[in-house]
Structure formats: structure tokens, C-alpha cells
Chain A
């Protein structure tokens, strides 16, 4: 009986340790998937095994441990490496076309369809 309890306790401890560990690294994964690996373009920091990306993941973990939220971590990295490091581009004069083009095409397509329907 005692052995059973001991074994169960050990399993419980291992399980809870794994859970808390996984919770943290999942957060790192989630953030690093949104970051461009600047020295291995075409890959995210999450995908890359370069020295730069590995350090970046450690840094993200450190920042999470310090209690920083996602937004603060992204802002910190943007201040160091510029806007380009995040995959989600902000709206500014360089990216306005990128954001508006789908909308313009959608409206244009809608007009085309409407015209076609009304003519018939």
C-alpha cells in the first residue's frame, strides 16, 4: 500500500513538473512563431536552430519569467530590431497598400458581380 502511494506521488510530481514546464515553453513557442528569424530569412524564430534564434528563445523565456506580457516582449524586440522582426505588419505608409489591396479587390469584385446580376 505504502509503495503504491509512493509510486503515485512520484508520478504526480513528474506530471505536474512536466505540465508547468510545458506551459512556459508553449508560450515561448507561441511568441517565437510570430517572430522573423533575421539571419535566416524565410524561417520564423520558432523554426530556426540558428544561434540567433536559440538566444532569442532564451531571451523570450527570461522576459516571461520577469513577468512581461506578449505585447511588451514584441515592443522590446521591435525597439531593438525594428518593425521587420514581427510577422504582423503595422499600418503605415509602406504597408498601406498591403492592407488596402484585398479590400479594394473585394469591393471591385462585388461591383462586377452586382453589375452582372442586375444586367441579367
Chain B
């Protein structure tokens, strides 16, 4: 009897751990949060890159139907790659693209814009990175599409924009209209 219980216990444990590990195999190790559920605090305060005035997110996203918040830095190489996509999106004229300059020097940031063009309608600076955390961001580059009327996040991209994401963004804007 004792022997049986031992055997059953061992077999049971092995089976349970086997299934737990098997389930773990199918899961990706990289954690990505439920992107749309993270809420935005619109009282977010930041200073403009080109002037010293302070502003809030409420004031930033008031015109047009959609806002695209893009977090970038001049030292971030993927940001350089995604810049043409932002210029492309800006040419649609439907988006209010807001740049958040993440942990950057003012001179380098301005140089970056001068060199590659300015897709942003407004640029605010985030020298300590705190504002980006308030937005629930991980780092640069990161892009958040917001519906200005309902004040909700429609889409969030961690990492640089590419052809696929650009097409998806255009699709979302088209469908929402």
C-alpha cells in the first residue's frame, strides 16, 4: 500500500510538471502587456523643444481626429529608420503627429529634425524619461495612435515602424473614419 502511494505520487508529480513545462514551451518568453488596456494620463506635463513653454497632453491632441504620439531620440538608430514612415503618415494630413524627444540633448534633437525633416506638428522634450513612463512606454522608438474624440489608445507599437505597421495604421484610420 505504502509503495503504491509513493509510486502514484511520483507519477502524478512527473505528469503535472511535464504538462506545466510543456505549456511553458509554447509561450513566448518576451512579455508584452495588454497594450490597449494601458490608460493614458492626459494631465501629462512637458516642455516644447522649440520654446520653453509647458503644455499638457490635453492641449497637444485637440486638433484633427487622430493623434500619433511618437517617442524618439537622436541617438536612437531605429528612429532614423522609421523617420520616413512618419513623414509619409504626415503627408496624409489626417494625423496630428506629436513627437516626444526622449533623453536627448536639445542641440542633437534639433539637428536630427533639420537633417531628416519634421513630421511632427509639435515636439515636447522628456529629458528624464519620466513622461514616457507615465505614457506606459518602454523606450525608443515607440508609437501610440490615439483617437482624439474618445481619448482612447487605438494601437501601440513598440519598436520602429515598418511597411507592415504603416499599412496597418492607414487601415485603422480609414476604418475608424
Decide whether A and B assemble into one complex: yes
Please, what's the 1-or-0 string for A94-119, where 1 marks a CB less than 8 Å from any CB in chain B?
00010000000000100010011001
Report whether over half of chain B's contact residues are helix, strand or loop; otherwise say mixed.
loop
Residue ID in chain A nearest B34 by CB atoms: A82
Q: Are the CB atoms of B136 and A80 closer together than 8 Å? A: yes
Is there a chain A Cβ closer than 8 Å to B39's Cβ? yes
Q: Which residues of A contact B29 (CB under 8 A)?
A: 41
Count A-B contacts at CB 8 Å. 55
Instruction: Tell which of A38, A58, A97, A119 touches B129, judged by Cβ atoms closer than 8 Å.
Output: A58
CA distance in complex: A52, B140 (Å): 10
A82-B133 contact given A52-B139, A115-B2, A116-B2, CB 8 Å threshold: no
Report whether over half of chain A's contact residues are helix, strand or loop; otherwise say mixed.
helix
In addition to A52-B139, A82-B38, A112-B9, 11 A-B residue pairs with Cβ atoms within 8 Å of each other are A39-B138, A41-B30, A51-B103, A51-B139, A55-B128, A58-B129, A58-B130, A79-B39, A81-B38, A108-B9, A112-B5
Q: Which B residues have a C-beta under 8 Å from some C-beta of A?
A: 2, 5-6, 9, 20, 29-31, 33-34, 37-39, 103, 128-130, 132-136, 138-139
